[in-house]
Structure 1
């Protein structure tokens, strides 16, 4: 089993290795999930020559911590940054892709300094104690692409004039996937966000809720993500 020492205890992660991989992807799960829930998704990626690394968030899976209090966004970003650096250093010649689901997507945006609240609804960030990084921990130019799944509204304030944080660069390939029936993170906020970030590829899934990779549409979602990742690495990321 694979662990690293985080600021708040030992953190567990999984790796699905591919000998001659096209790229490495780092996945950050949401609340209530851990790396062990993603074996099926990993099989889809590895079948397309993409190696997957996935983190157990603090208090989840085999990571130490309190599952009821995974930490502030700054703490989540610090843990995720260690895994990103481990993945990068293991095969520095490979393109690196970052993916997050739900709170993991908030963390992924936080790594880029872009998980900021809508100024009209700033209290939505109480779940992460209202603290959010505004400068990147991971330079966007070091990533081949970013995949966001089921992003909560509280992290989607970026892209507006004068918004805090670091704007996402237009040359960073980004894919957003979202269930049209998502009640935990309603899709309307993502539609507004992708409207402000008009280079983002946006895929909506009918009859699907928040947890796309564990619903009936999971095979299609996984295949779409794998196809997009390969395109991003090849410089052919699909535009919406």
Structure 2
């Protein structure tokens, strides 16, 4: 089984090879989930010629740690960056796609220095500076696209005038998917965020909640994500050509 030494112990990751692939996807799950929950999603991803890698967050799946305390955002970002480095070593010429669900989406934005809450006071600003990576660990130009699913409000303060962190560039293709009935991460926050980032594609799913890939609507969500990833990865190369 594949492991690496992470911020809080040995971290497990899973790989779904796609021999004739057009891109590589790094998936970061949310709290309470692990890579074993994503075999169903991996099937259409691989069928589209995209190789998928996913990380067990600290304390989840086969990764060491406390499931009730997966780590600080800086630690989560460091672990995700290590997986991305492994993918780049193994598939150096493949266009790289990044996807995160819930806490994984917060981590994905954190990798780009953009996971910051709304701030209303100097005390808030100090807390953001202490707890949130404000500069990119991964440059946006290194990514072919970013997919965000069920992003909590606490990571969606970026893009407002004077906001801390690193602004996401309009040149980075971004897809956000969100359930209209999401009670864990109400949809209003992502609607406000995409209004500030008007190049982002937002797909809303009626009668769907927080965990879109494990709800009755999962097949439609998977299809929408895979179609979008194929489109953004296509300009980087010829479809169906192997990249190693």
Using structure 1 for the length normalisation, give the TM-score.
0.94
Question: Matched residue of 2:131: which SS?
Answer: coil
Structure 1 partner of 2:81: 81
What is the CA deviation profile of residues 121-176 of structure 1, one whole-angstrom value per residue up to 9, with x for unaligned ones?
987xx9x9960100000010000000000000000000011100000000000000
Structure 2 partner of 1:167: 167
Q: CA deviation at 1:7?
A: 2.3
In 1, distance between residues paired with 2:129 and 2:100? 20
In 1, distance between residues paired with 2:138 and 2:79? 12
Question: Matched residue of 2:146: which SS?
Answer: strand
Aligned residues of 2:22 and 2:234 also touching (Cα < 8 A): no
Aligned residues of 2:179 and 2:187 also touching (Cα < 8 A): yes
Structure 2 partner of 1:36: 36
What is the CA deviation profile of residues 50-82 of structure 1, one whole-angstrom value per residue up to 9, with x for unaligned ones?
110000000000000000000000000000000
Aligned residues of 2:25 and 2:50 also touching (Cα < 8 A): yes
In 2, distance between residues paired with 1:172 and 1:115? 16
Q: CA deviation at 1:120?
A: 3.2
Aligned residues of 1:72 and 1:129 also touching (Cα < 8 A): no
CA RMSD of aligned residues (A): 1.8
In 2, distance between residues paired with 1:22 and 1:82? 22
Q: CA deviation at 1:234?
A: 2.0
Does structure 1 residue 209 correspond to structure 2 residue 185? no
- In the alignment, structure 2 segments of 5+ residues that lack a partner are 237-244
Structure 1 partner of 2:17: 17
Q: 1:129-148 counterparts in 2 under 5 A?
A: 131-148=131-148
In 2, distance between residues paired with 1:191 and 1:234? 28
Using structure 2 for the length normalisation, give the TM-score.
0.93
In 1, distance between residues paired with 2:130 and 2:204? 29
Question: Matched residue of 1:202: which SS?
Answer: strand
- In the alignment, structure 1 segments of 5+ residues that lack a partner are none
Structure 2 partner of 1:6: 6
Q: Which has the higher contact order (CA 8 A, sep 6+)?
A: 2
How many residues of Structure 1 are paired with residues of Structure 2 in the alignment? Answer: 234
